[in-house]
Chains A and B, each alone.
Chain A
Amino acid sequence: MTAFSAKRKISSFAMLAVGIVCIIFSLALDCMGLKFFIDLGNGNLDIRGGILIVGILLTIAGIYLFPTLKYHRAIVYGLFLFPLLATFLVTVIIPLFFGIGYSFTDWDGIRVRNVVGFENYLRMFRQPGFIWSILVTFLFVFFNVILVNLIGFLLALLCTTKIKALGFFRASYFLPNLIGGIVLGYIWKFIFSSVLTNLLATKSMLSETPTALAAIVIVYIWQYGGYIMLIYITGLTGVQADTLEAASIDGASPCQLLTKIKIPMIAPTITICTFLTLTSAFKQFDVNLAMTNGAGSVSDFMGSYITNGTEMLALNIYSTAISQNQYALSQAKAVLFFIILAVVSIIQVRTSNKKEVTL
């Protein structure tokens, strides 16, 4: 097989070799904190980045010209995927592994002084405040998944009937979802602590931990209910009219229509909505930050006085890093958070796959 000229072979191998050397050289310089200057007469120019780019381009050209027939197609596909893969690698995969790495050190956001092993992971479970955060998050998720879905579903039922101004209702229920969580949080904080207190002459709901948590749940439902409603509307309108008609001819009452026909027919929608609310409630951050910033006292939890009564997991991670300046500990908490979310997502994918099969 002499499908490839000697010239092509040589140029491919040469480009690959030079390219890889360039990449390694520039990365090595970077790791050692050095720069590579060339004198342009009117000042030095650092070409460390330039070397890296030339190296990458040469490597790509070398791979493209690589003398193989069998794998040429695969190589071309790979090259076209490269920009996306590289972006994914740089923005997701590398930070993820860096983050896991940092969680085993005493990183303070500036430098790593010591490797501490599992110390951060043990420490976070010795903080009653953190355990409280986990429990509160689960509680919040539990209430939200039920209430958001229930209210979203009821709104959807309402918005699929023949009432007037349907478009207006649908739009206005959906509107809160378009407002950012921080803005929403501040609006509702004003309502809870200034408007309602004056109207009802009561204490602000945000002043005690249990009521403040309830307030966050209310705001979250208000924000998310409309979105879930839209998905349910799509599901409900997808239920075929002839099925419903046949059922009503057979004498099914509206209640039976709902429980025996509509709900079973939209089971996949329910699954989707459940997991959507589940994951997004877990990641609750902005409303929490704007409304209470986590403050709230609990007089006795695991023998301690807790001061972060309304602080959910994501906010706890944030404040551990930012206001307590414990970046490594925060990173360890973030890894745990990642694991929880990953487990939830995997279950989600598994369940929805199963449902799709049965359809």
Chain B
Amino acid sequence: MKKKILSVLLAGAMVSSLVACGVSTGEETTGTGDASGATTETAASGDAIVLLNGKPEIDEQLQALAAAYTAESGQAVEIQTVGGSNSATASDTLKKDYQAGTMPDIFVAEANQFANWEGMLADMSGEAWTENTELEYVNEDGTVGFPYMVEAWGIGYNADVLEAAGVDPSTLTSPAGYKAAFETLESKKDELGLTAVVDYGANATELGWSTGTHMFGQYLDAGLSAGADSEWFDLLQDGGKIDADRMTQFAEFIDLIQQHCDETIATTGNYDQETALFAQGKAAFITQGSWFGANLTGSDDYSGFKCGIAPFAFADGIDTICGGATSYWAVYADGNVDAAKAFLQWCSEETAQKAFVNECGFVSPFNTVSDIPSDPFAEAVNTYKSNGKLSPMHTFEKKDGLQNDTSVVFEDFAKGNLDVAGFVDTISKVCEAYYAQ
């Protein structure tokens, strides 16, 4: 008898565990539509639109923005935030969501990720917001990327140090101008308290994103007017070809930087060490862009000195910095397209844009607001933007993963394993090999 009861109990446990597993999966599939969950408390849960955000640092601000929109329009918006330091996290989440059939209505995408979603995104051309910006992402599917932030990079500088040394930043539009400025600063290093003139990091493991993506981007686009096509990018896309003359000028400029940088940071330093050197006022220039403002203000060493961005002038007459929207919001065509479009339109208008600028610290891609974030580099970015001096950023559209290879060449160059000719030759080979794969 005891045996029988035990076997019944065991069998019961087995069946109920099966049922339990089954029920929870059942709920998951039914829960797609009304996943309002803990993040938003709204009545209209059935139609909540879901936005997948890839920037954890602005999660709170977006939640507040979503709540404000719900209060205004009655449309619930759920913000899902994933990720961390790299963009791969958001794109991986999306792949998983796509397989599970739980795609968000709006999601974050970078320029070279749009091709993955070809034919699956809603065309937003003709939306009112497109009139107020030039930075939207357009491809064969139409206008598919809503810009929500502007980032830009050239060579950042410490305006106070330059002033004390008597260097006028407006002369920094040619290699000769830079050479003169670097030499002046080098001679006054002790008096200005500098340990290095330029804060440059090329360690591929730590700062490969900086050299392989951003600095390489200067080769592709520096000096071009906003929205222009880049012949060097077209050349690169055509089997990874490199223009040897331009690359030589570029390499000579990097070489100039390397003669005036801190060798240890250049070869083995990480982002924190790079940040600390500049924040302590021990370097006059840094090879980073507008995003660096947040790290600078977040550093305890930062004394509040003024900053600016100068063009990456490796050839005469380069007076632009590379910039634009580095990540976009795309609308999934099988989602709630109309509600998503309405939300994005609202995001482009004044109330939301003010929140983006003042709360998130973004330079606005729209001309609906004149506010500028309090970030040390924001004013410089905004000035370039309003003067039409933002070059495009084709570097985000090059073949995925190329930066991992080119950044190693930058590191070898910084370590002195390659000379200028060797750098040009190697980077050409690496690009060709990568595109041939």
Contacts from A to B (Cβ < 8 Å): 33, 35, 43, 45-50, 52-53, 56-57, 80, 83, 108-111, 123, 126-128, 193, 197, 203-204, 206-207, 292-297, 299, 304-305, 307-309, 319, 322-326
Contacts and interface: CB of A to CB of B under 8 A. Distances in A.
B404 A319 contact: yes
Interface in B315-349: none
A57 B17 CA distance: 12
B98 A207 contact: no
In this complex, the interface size class of chain B, counting residues with CB under 8 Å from chain A, is 35 or more
Given A49-B26, A56-B18, A319 B430 contact: no
Contacts of A204: 267-268
B429 A305 contact: yes
A52 B411 contact: no
A309 B404 CA distance: 12
A307 B34 CA distance: 47
A307 B409 contact: yes
A54 to B, nearest CB: 9
Contacts of B88: 322-323
A97 B19 CA distance: 27
A304 B14 CA distance: 58
A106 to B, nearest CB: 12
Contact of B22 (A52, A80, A127, A128): A52
B412 A43 contact: no
Contacts of A111: 98
8 contacts: A108-B116, A207-B203, A207-B268, A296-B204, A297-B409, A308-B408, A322-B92, A324-B401
Given A110-B95, A126-B437, A323 B15 contact: no
Contacts of A293: 205
Contact of A109 (B29, B116, B205): B116
Contact of B46 (A43, A49, A197, A323): A43
B42 interface: no
Nearest to A64: B11
A193 B268 contact: yes
A292 B205 contact: yes
B117 interface: yes
A45 B32 CA distance: 11
A49 B430 contact: no
A307 B268 contact: no
B22 A307 contact: no
Contacts of A193: 268
A324 B400 contact: yes
Contact of B408 (A108, A197, A295): A295
A53 B412 contact: no
A307 B404 contact: yes
Given A57-B18, A204-B268, A295 B430 contact: no
6 interchain residue pairs of minimum CB distance: A324-B401, A49-B26, A307-B408, A53-B22, A295-B204, A307-B405
A295 B407 contact: yes
A297 B411 contact: yes
Given A43-B46, A193-B268, A292-B205, 17 more contacts: A49-B25, A49-B29, A57-B18, A83-B17, A108-B116, A109-B95, A206-B205, A207-B415, A295-B208, A305-B409, A305-B429, A305-B433, A307-B430, A308-B408, A322-B88, A324-B401, A325-B116
B40 interface: no
Contacts of A206: 205, 268
Given A127-B437, A297-B412, A322-B88, A49 B268 contact: no
Interface in B25-66: 25-26, 29-30, 34, 46
Contacts of B95: 109-110
A295 B400 contact: no
B216 to A, nearest CB: 13
Residue with the greatest number of chain A CB neighbours at <10 A, chosen from B267, B408, B417? B408
A325 B437 CA distance: 13
A46 B18 contact: no
A290 to B, nearest CB: 10
B298 interface: no
A306 B19 CA distance: 53
B400 A323 contact: yes
Interface in B188-215: 203-205, 208
A49 B22 contact: yes
Given A207-B267, A295-B411, A297-B411, A50 B26 contact: yes
Interface in B111-164: 116-117
A144 to B, nearest CB: 22
